[in-house]
Amino acid sequence: MTRTTRIAMGIGIVLGIVACNREPEPQVQAAVCDPDAFQTLVGQPTSAMSGMDLPRLTRILRPNQPVTLDFNPERLNIQTDRESIITEVRCG
């Protein structure tokens, strides 16, 4: 066995031991969308949201506005009509 081969094997063993001894990464609790907490906004103008502490992932959806169709269970969607009146609050 050559010196290079022994060194490579030693490095492989050390890396294997290190990989086995890694602490598991803590699981991060995903944010939960709670549309019920914002249902009082339905029927209100969008100005009613001024000063409110909205979730980080909140989007205001206006008529004919292009939006992504991906579903994100953490995102709060606030749908409005042409007069900027909130018509629906939902997750997605």
In the predicted structure, residue 83 carries a pLDDT above the cut 60:
yes
Strand order in the sheet with 86-91: 58-61, 76-80, 86-91
Q: Give pTM, 2 decimals.
A: 0.65
Whole-number Å distance between alpha carbons of 37 and 51: 15
Q: What is the pLDDT of residue 88?
A: 97
In the predicted structure, residue 82 carries a pLDDT above the cut 90:
yes
| Structural domain count of the chain | 1
With a pLDDT cut of 90, the percent of the chain lying above it is: 64
- Domain-located, residue 12: no
How confident is residue 26, by pLDDT bands cut at 50, 70 and 90? low
Q: Structural domain of residue 74, as residue ranges?
A: 35-91
Q: Please give the mean pLDDT across all residues of the chain.
A: 84
| CATH code, 44 | 3.30.10.10
